[in-house]
């Protein structure tokens, strides 16, 4: 259970001896906090590399058997990128990729269980926030980010993204994207970028540089999805900067996970229900503007 615990969360290094230093002072075990974690920059960068590698390679476990099936039956079509089954499998493959990422970074971050995983990130509310107040503030921030995203994408404009193509390929793909965006992406992305990478960069380079590097690194990995829509790239960058600043201000990871979860969750609900509402609007315009709102929000994952 997540609690509001303001104390230093991770325990001390188990094998650090307590004794007298060469100057005659007492050497106490080092106490780690979410902003001064027990892992170093090398392990943090390796964790980031693992997360990217999982996203690139794990979906192939689902896609390659489908290629083999097509090759043995009808043949692989030249338009495979528009094949509905291929697109759904490419989305579903990200879910085990996220799960494998957490499993792979666990031994790096915990030193094979010698340090607590979630508590090391500060997976609690800051001391100044109760859980209800924290959720309310996170909802307000997420709503403001969505509103800003609508303004930016509507003003700047841009072409359809790869994510748009996935969403429009089939209702199954739409459901898969909605589930992925809500159930796994916010948690795993926040753990990797603002849970693991941020505190080590903060320790090495300071708060300002850590915010800059994490914000643009997070936005950068999304550019491939949105390269032909500058408006969406701007929104993703704003989202990343906001989340990283909140992580720096709060010293905790939980607020950024909740904001990211709400931000994606609202869009996931719209993704799921938009076709149903559109069908209803074709009969009677009971929800005017919903389709237009959905078209704008679809960009912002």
pLDDT along the chain (301 residues), means of 10: 46 44 57 93 97 95 94 88 91 96 96 93 93 97 95 84 86 94 96 98 97 93 83 92 96 97 95 82 50 50 50
Task: Say which residue the tokens 């916010």 belong to.
Answer: 186
Task: Say how many C-beta atoms besides its own lie within 10 A of residue 125's C-beta.
Answer: 25
Determine the Cα–Cα distance for residues 171 and 193; give it in Å rounded to an integer: 31
Contact present, 141 and 246 (Cβ < 8 Å)? yes
Residue 298: what pLDDT?
52
Q: How many helices (DSSP H) and strands (DSSP E) are in the chain? A: 15, 2
Name which of 263, 122, 249 is nearest 186 in CA terms: 263
Contact present, 94 and 88 (Cβ < 8 Å)? no
Kind and range of the H or E element at 26? strand 26-27
Count, residues in the chain: 301
Name the CA radius of gyration of the chain, rounded.
22
Residue 287: what pLDDT?
41
Residue 28: what pLDDT?
56
Spatial CB neighbours of 28, under 8 Å, sequence gap ≥ 6 = 18
List the structure tokens of 290.
């919903």
Residue 78: what pLDDT?
83
């Amino acid at each position: 259970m997540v609690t509001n615990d303001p104390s230093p969360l991770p325990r001390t290094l188990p094998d650090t001896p307590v004794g007298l230093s060469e100057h005659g002072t007492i050497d106490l075990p080092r106490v780690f906090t979410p902003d001064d974690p027990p892992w170093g920059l090398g392990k943090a960068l390796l964790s980031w590399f693992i997360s990217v590698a999982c996203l690139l390679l794990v979906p192939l476990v689902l896609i390659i058997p489908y290629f083999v099936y097509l090759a043995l039956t009808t043949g692989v079509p030249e338009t495979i990128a528009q094949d509905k089954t291929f697109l759904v499998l490419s989305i579903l493959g990200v879910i085990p990729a996220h799960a494998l990422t957490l499993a792979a970074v666990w031994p790096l971050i915990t030193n094979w269980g010698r340090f607590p995983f979630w508590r090391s990130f500060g997976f609690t509310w800051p001391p100044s926030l109760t859980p209800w107040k924290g959720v309310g503030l996170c909802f307000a921030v997420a709503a403001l980010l969505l509103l800003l995203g609508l303004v930016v994408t509507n003003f700047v404009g841009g072409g359809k993204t790869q994510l748009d193509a996935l969403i429009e390929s089939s209702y199954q793909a739409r459901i898969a994207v909605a589930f992925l965006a809500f159930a796994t992406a916010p948690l795993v992305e926040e753990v990797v970028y603002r849970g693991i990478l941020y505190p080590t960069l903060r320790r090495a380079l300071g708060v300002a540089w850590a915010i800059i590097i994490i914000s643009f690194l997070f936005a950068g990995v999304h550019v491939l999805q949105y390269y032909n829509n500058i408006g969406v790239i701007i929104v993703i960058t704003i989202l990343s900067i906001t989340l990283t600043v909140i992580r720096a201000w709060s010293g905790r990871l939980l607020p950024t996970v909740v904001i990211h979860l709400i931000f994606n969750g609202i869009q996931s609900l719209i993704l799921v229900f938009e076709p149903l509402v559109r069908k209803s609007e074709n009969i009677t315009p009971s929800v005017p503007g919903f389709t237009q709102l959905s078209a704008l929000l679809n960009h912002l994952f």
